[in-house]
A = this chain, B = another copy of it.
């Protein structure tokens, strides 16, 4: 698989998060010669929040986590790549329980305090006996610095590990937020999905943490699309160790507490950073596209139009071909089904006015559009002329690389 042209030259160096240790190893679940199992251990007092796939065929691990967050006590996280444990019936549920019990024995906690995520092939039984015996070694090796190992162990078709971090403060006390993620192209080739795990030393109650998590996911992980497909396993988990309390950070239990303002902003930044990394490593991606829709009836309508543009195969292939084909953008606005005033519609490529008042801008020249499309990062902006609703989503182009990854690998 070709390395993404957006591969960072330098990966983010993540600092320790007090109360959190991790390790990763090769368990041989499907891949050989690379790490595929991560264990994260949290000191007593940690809690967790989470947001999951909307899929009606969610995986066994998603069902397990959904039943557990927001959780008053979270002591361990086990993630494997190579097998999604999805569509595996009763055996899938048993595999999750066995994994949770094995991790609980090692972390000296209850199985209910263990969270689990799996990513990889669908429909094949995941045998926990094959990797649970590795958990003891992982627990012994766990350190405050193994973030890069963890990010690599959760990769499937990703071409680079995704890491992000921010320092922020709560009531004047410094706290940190670290994040790991993997992409995308959904379950392809059988085994991509979106997973993101965030860790902070802030002391925040489970309910407040859940509220912060859900609000931060909306304009970040929920505003990206590679191919419009939805994995059975998409999972975002946010853990708070509370260890900053020892340095004077207040314990906060109301999501609207004004002392959380900076923290909430930093959380969105970490998630947006990871979300953009996922798009830039989308299968076959050669361009990163920000789609901005303004003038819609409301924010939800704007988002629906933005996703209609971002998911349109015709828009995405035009971007791949560096073709300033704004007729396809008009088409995508039209198919979204939300109110749009055709005769007030305006379109920009970056700062370049392409169309306005429902027809080509008289000053627009296709040469200028074609020049703009050569950029590797693009902004498509549309005003649909009916209200004040606004949304921003991010996507990548649709290239021969996507077809090669998803159609050719068995042929």
Chain A interface (Cβ within 8 Å of chain B)? 53-58, 84, 86-89, 91-92, 121-124, 185-188, 190, 227-232, 311-314, 317-318, 320-323, 325-328, 330-340, 342-343, 345, 355, 357-360, 370, 397-400, 402-404, 406-411
Contacts and interface: CB of A to CB of B under 8 A. Distances in A.
Given A58-B334, A88-B359, A343-B89, A312 B407 contact: no
A142 B327 CA distance: 34
Contact of A55 (B53, B320, B331, B410): B331
A339 to B, nearest CB: 7
A-B pairs with lowest CB-CB distance, top 8 = A122-B327, A57-B334, A55-B334, A321-B407, A230-B335, A317-B406, A89-B359, A317-B407
Interface centre among A340, A370, A406, A411 (most CB of B within 10 A): A406
A97 B364 CA distance: 27
A93 to B, nearest CB: 10
Total copies of this chain within the assembly: 2
11 contacts: A57-B340, A57-B342, A122-B328, A186-B314, A186-B331, A190-B328, A228-B312, A229-B314, A317-B402, A323-B410, A400-B403
Nearest to A400: B403
A332 B231 CA distance: 9
A164 to B, nearest CB: 27
A335 B58 CA distance: 9
Given A317-B403, A333-B57, A123 B327 contact: yes
Interface centre among A311, A313, A332 (most CB of B within 10 A): A313
Nearest to A325: B190
A386 to B, nearest CB: 10
A188 B314 contact: yes
Given A318-B407, A339-B56, A406-B321, A121 B399 contact: no
Nearest to A406: B317
A368 to B, nearest CB: 15
A331 B231 contact: yes
A86 B318 contact: no
Contacts of A91: 359
Given A123-B355, A232-B330, 14 more contacts: A56-B333, A87-B360, A123-B330, A185-B314, A187-B314, A187-B327, A227-B314, A228-B312, A229-B312, A230-B334, A317-B407, A321-B407, A321-B409, A402-B403
A328 B232 contact: no
Nearest to A384: B56
B320 A407 contact: yes
Contacts of A230: 331, 334-335
A171 B358 CA distance: 50
A87 B346 CA distance: 11
Nearest to A186: B314
A400 B338 CA distance: 32
Contacts of A357: 89
Contact of A322 (B232, B312, B337, B411): B411
A342 B312 CA distance: 29
Contact of A56 (B123, B314, B321, B337): B337
